[in-house]
Amino acid sequence: MSHQPDHFSVRRVVLPSGKTIEVMLFEQAPARPMSFSATGLHVCPTCASELVHPIAWSEHGRELWEVTLRCPECHAFTTGVHHQTVVEALDIELDRGTDALVADLRRLVEANTEDEIARFAAVLQSDLLLPEDF
């Protein structure tokens, strides 16, 4: 007769290959959230870069998330369990970063477009563009 623990649950996990497996989770004491810098998860504890981003995350119990973070500047990795509110604050920072990148991209596209228009106008005024060019 094999010994079976009394308290366990089964969770389906979809692997990156698409295969679905069932994992038995045995009850344990709940993981405690890792105490992170008061500046938030987006700040690297190693180099203080504010560009830290998540590379993996999964639910880790009620209102807890296990998140693996990566710093693009010093290449540090850290995995920890964080409360929902801390992860939501990271999400807000990520949205802010995305907005900043999109705004920079728009400015770059506008600058490039203005430059192309100016060069095209100069070519037209100089009669350097002929029907054979098309």
Residue 120, φ and ψ in degrees, nearest 5: -65, -45
Q: Which is nearer to Zn ion, 60 or 76 (CB)?
A: 76
Tell me the closest approach of the beta carbon of residue 39 to Zn ion, in angstroms: 13
* Phi, psi (deg, nearest 5) at residue 60: -135, 45
Q: List residues near Zn ion by CB under 5 A.
A: 44, 46-47, 49, 71, 73-74, 76
CB 68 within 8 A of CB 56: yes
CB of 98 to Zn ion, least distance (A): 20
CB-wise, 44 or 64, nearer to Zn ion?
A: 44
| Gap between the Cα atoms of 56 and 64, Å rounded | 14
Q: Which tokens in the block code for residue 54?
A: 């998540």
Q: Give me the least distance between CB of 53 and Zn ion, in Å please.
A: 11
Q: Which is nearer to Zn ion, 47 or 100 (CB)?
A: 47
